[in-house]
Chain A
Amino acid sequence: MDILRFATAGSVDDGKSTLIGRLLFDSKAIFEDQLEAVERTSRDRGTGYTDLSLLTDGLRAEREQGITIDVAYRYFATPKRKFIIADTPGHIQYTRNMVTGASTADLAVILIDARKGVLEQSRRHAFLTTLLRVPHLVLAVNKMDLVDYSEARFEEIREEFTAFASKLNATDLTFIPISALHGDNVVSRSENMPWYGGTSLLHHLENVHIASDRNLVDVRFPVQYVIRPHNATNPELHDYRGYAGQIAGGVLKPGDEVLHLPSGLTTTITGIDTFDGPVEEAFPPMSVTLRLADDIDISRGDMICRPNNQPRVAQEIDAMVCWMADGLKLQPRSKLIIKHTTRTARALVRDLHYRLDVNTLHRDESATALSLNEIGRVSLRTTQPLFVDDYARNRLTGGFILIDEATNGTVGAGMIVDAH
């Protein structure tokens, strides 16, 4: 059994909470005491139906105000897969939350109300999903029961969205007509839509192939921690020196020739260690410890790669940045802390090339700053070289966060598009 992480986008009105509630309920991930609590609260409020959004809205302020503040993580499993849902709210601070939820997602489910069709927010959801390079996108056309399960309406929405998505480099796009309220095409195929030849949403989630989404070609091992037991009594451990980290790309094997950055020196992997014994190969997302043949000065923040396949060593970085700070703005001359893989440096904003309107994709080149939830193309100079790939090539070596030096808050997320 493997794991699929997926993000859901859409507002309460689109039936997102109902859909999640149904997936959780039908996979028995909702328990009786949780359901009783929801039923009790729904009854007290006189909503007239069991409001499944109460399951996901966990904080006091959310329940009191009937809004969702933050990304909530939900879990369910079928015999085939474990699922982690990043449930992102549709109302306030939308971009920040959706970017956060999408950053680790293998797949995104965007809900569209069949009556309303493709709205501005649907386009925004699709844009953010592709900006964050979520490999698989599902358009769940919901409330099909309210349009008489009309094939024509479904096709109309599919055509309109496909035309828009072609501008976005959306890779794997799947359309599924559903009714979350009645369960049509959610867990099993609906008899109300015999014209639909595809699978149910759950069947798709269970079977979509994600193993090859990881980069297994470019070897990237950011050194996270150096393990030196300094064990005086055990001679085998006395001189042990291992480089611990989580593999960000490629497949590593003992005997492989590797190159260390920033030194540029080459050496050979003598062993790949884990608590459970040495392994013959290691690949993402494994956390392992490498032993190397030569005594090179290697520390946290360094990178191990292949001599003939190296990341760029860069201090000048161009990236799409999503700004996440309340109050503080990103503007030229801003000084920030940048955290990229296991390396932390300082960064100076050299230029803001344009601000992107996430609804129209219009580039505003006259913009002088980015405010909360705005996205733009930014040039940064860093105090130390970073070992980077384009985000499109590798999400782990192409993504970074920005931290405000004054408040220590995480104020931005960046996706590298160019570097030198």
Chain B
Amino acid sequence: MLQRDYTTSQLDVLEAEAIHIMREVAAEFERPCLLFSGGKDSVVMLRVAEKAFWPAPIPFPLMHVDTGHNFPEVIEFRDKRVAELGVRLVVASVQASIDAGRVVEETGRRASRNRLQTTTLLDAIEENEFDAVFGGARRDEEKARAKERVFSFRDEFGQWDPKNQRPELWNLYNTKIRRGEHIRVFPLSNWTELDVWHYIRREEIEIPSIYFAHRRRVFERDGMLLADSDVVQRGDDEPVFEAVVRYRTVGDMTCTGAVVSNATTVDQIIDEIATTRITERGATRADDRASEAAMEDRKKEGYF
């Protein structure tokens, strides 16, 4: 009867689902925003947002939680994309939270602002009265995330209660909240790391330079290569050397490790990931190594 098969490729299915999610938020919430770190997932999310509302501009601002410990290349990239799209950028500063006495800076060699970001993020959500916040998290990233809803309810303290989540059926999302509560929305929930890279290749999306192999001064800690930088406290027993590396994830300089790699193109990155035997967070994120439930505990507090 039908002349053709109407099969849809996996990237088209994932994109259509993400567009549907974004339009649902724009239609049902008063004040959404999109968390944009400049990392590959948020870059992909931004492209999907462009597509969802085209030819109209993206109908919500972007927000970046700036720890002050970011890679300079990523901040530069962030500002360039924001200027190109003409969208509003809200910068929530961890340094400002520290200066205001909202959080206390960690000290010592392993000091990181990773956990402090939660307070800054929640304060900014409250201050701007955001009721829906898009995040680029994927379920394949981490086992606590594998159980999180696409529309993830947060109470007035910004907390996630994994045992009391709203059932999510078909493509029907419950967007009802009271004042002061909000929903975290994850349009890329069903994407894998490889899907993200295949999409970046197909769409020819620009990404920060640190994803590609480059020469960098690094030192080794816990089997990870950390960047030698003013914001990272390094001991005398941690000698600096130069290596050709790239980043698989983009986080703070204090807790994001580089991997040794010669991949200088998206094609080479895809080949590398297709054969790697270590997850992206396992390879490169000290923040997830704190304990078995490190991510779950931070998420309950209101983390990304």
CB interface residues, B 48-67, toward A, < 8 Å: 50-57
When distances are taken between beta carbons in the complex, the residues of chain B under 8 Å from A63 are 292-293
CB interface residues, A 64-91, toward B, < 8 Å: 69-75, 77, 81-82, 84
Tell me, in angstroms, the Cα distance from A244 to B12 when the chains sit together: 16
Check B167–A100 contact: CB distance below 8 A. yes
Contact status of A77 and B170, CB under 8 A, knowing A31-B279, A60-B293, A285-B8: no
Closest to B295 in A: A58
Check B10–A409 contact: CB distance below 8 A. no
Is B87 an interface position by the 8 A CB rule?
Answer: no
Is A348 an interface position by the 8 A CB rule?
Answer: no
Closest to B168 in A: A100
Tell me, in angstroms, the Cα distance from A283 to B178 when the chains sit together: 36
Is B231 an interface position by the 8 A CB rule?
Answer: no
Is B272 an interface position by the 8 A CB rule?
Answer: no
Check A227–B56 contact: CB distance below 8 A. yes
Mark interface residues in A191-231 (1 if CB within 8 Å of B CB, else 0).
00000000000000000000110101000000011011111
When distances are taken between beta carbons in the complex, the residues of chain B under 8 Å from A276 are 51
Judged by DSSP, the binding face of B is loop
Is A33 an interface position by the 8 A CB rule?
Answer: yes
Is A163 an interface position by the 8 A CB rule?
Answer: no
Contact pick for A59, options B16, B144, B277, CB 8 Å: B144
Tell me, in angstroms, the Cα distance from A33 to B224 when the chains sit together: 13
Contact pick for A75, options B139, B163, B170, CB 8 Å: B139
How many pairs, one residue from A and one from B, have CB atoms within 8 Å of each other in the complex? 189
Is B5 an interface position by the 8 A CB rule?
Answer: yes
Is A309 an interface position by the 8 A CB rule?
Answer: no
When distances are taken between beta carbons in the complex, the residues of chain B under 8 Å from A71 are 147
Check B171–A70 contact: CB distance below 8 A. no
Contact pick for A287, options B23, B140, B147, B277, CB 8 Å: B23
Contact status of A61 and B170, CB under 8 A, knowing A33-B279, A216-B6: no
Check A403–B282 contact: CB distance below 8 A. no
When distances are taken between beta carbons in the complex, the residues of chain A under 8 Å from B12 are 286
Is A237 an interface position by the 8 A CB rule?
Answer: yes
Contact pick for B167, options A41, A81, A96, CB 8 Å: A96
Closest to A37 in B: B292
Tell me, in angstroms, the Cα distance from A59 to B190 when the chains sit together: 19
What's the least CB distance linking A70 to chain B, in Å? 5
Check A72–B146 contact: CB distance below 8 A. yes
Check A32–B278 contact: CB distance below 8 A. yes
Contact pick for A300, options B6, B13, B27, B174, CB 8 Å: B27
Tell me, in angstroms, the Cα distance from A337 to B147 when the chains sit together: 26
Check A237–B55 contact: CB distance below 8 A. yes
When distances are taken between beta carbons in the complex, the residues of chain B under 8 Å from A28 are 277
Tell me, in angstroms, the Cα distance from A81 to B192 when the chains sit together: 13
Is A153 an interface position by the 8 A CB rule?
Answer: no
Selected interface stretch from A118-126, A260-268, A353-361, A394-402 = A394-402
Closest to A326 in B: B164
Check B165–A70 contact: CB distance below 8 A. yes
Is A1 an interface position by the 8 A CB rule?
Answer: yes
Check B19–A287 contact: CB distance below 8 A. yes
Mark interface residues in A18-56 (1 if CB within 8 Å of B CB, else 0).
000000000010011110010001000000000000011
Check B169–A99 contact: CB distance below 8 A. yes
Tell me, in angstroms, the Cα distance from A28 to B275 when the chains sit together: 9
Tell me, in angstroms, the Cα distance from A224 to B143 when the chains sit together: 32
Closest to A82 in B: B10
Is A169 an interface position by the 8 A CB rule?
Answer: no
Tell me, in angstroms, the Cα distance from A274 to B51 when the chains sit together: 7
Check A100–B169 contact: CB distance below 8 A. yes
Is A408 an interface position by the 8 A CB rule?
Answer: yes
When distances are taken between beta carbons in the complex, the residues of chain A under 8 Å from B147 are 58-59, 69-73
When distances are taken between beta carbons in the complex, the residues of chain A under 8 Å from B194 are 77
Contact status of A55 and B162, CB under 8 A, knowing A214-B6, A246-B171: no
What's the least CB distance linking A418 to chain B, in Å? 19
Tell me, in angstroms, the Cα distance from A75 to B145 when the chains sit together: 13
Check A229–B143 contact: CB distance below 8 A. no
Is A295 an interface position by the 8 A CB rule?
Answer: no
Mark interface residues in B146-163 (1 if CB within 8 Å of A CB, else 0).
110000000000000011
CB interface residues, B 174-230, toward A, < 8 Å: 174, 176-178, 189-190, 192, 194-195
Tell me, in angstroms, the Cα distance from A47 to B197 when the chains sit together: 38
Is B20 an interface position by the 8 A CB rule?
Answer: yes
When distances are taken between beta carbons in the complex, the residues of chain A under 8 Å from B190 are 73, 75, 84
When distances are taken between beta carbons in the complex, the residues of chain A under 8 Å from B54 are 227, 273-275, 289
Tell me, in angstroms, the Cα distance from A38 to B163 when the chains sit together: 23
Check A211–B6 contact: CB distance below 8 A. yes
Interface residues of A (CB under 8 A from B): 1-3, 28, 31-34, 37, 41, 55-61, 63, 69-75, 77, 81-82, 84, 96, 99-100, 103-104, 211-212, 214, 216, 224-225, 227-231, 237, 240, 242, 244-246, 251, 273-276, 283, 285-287, 289, 300, 324, 337, 339-340, 342, 395-396, 399-401, 403, 408-410, 413
Interface residues of B (CB under 8 A from A): 2, 5-10, 12-17, 19-20, 23-24, 26-27, 50-57, 139-140, 142-147, 162-163, 165-172, 174, 176-178, 189-190, 192, 194-195, 276-279, 282-283, 292-293, 296-297
6 pairs of A and B residues whose beta carbons are closest in the complex: A58-B143, A33-B282, A275-B51, A287-B19, A408-B176, A103-B169
13 new A-B contacts, CB < 8 A, other than A70-B163, A100-B169, A285-B16, are A31-B276, A31-B282, A33-B279, A56-B146, A59-B293, A73-B147, A224-B24, A225-B27, A287-B16, A287-B17, A287-B23, A400-B172, A409-B174
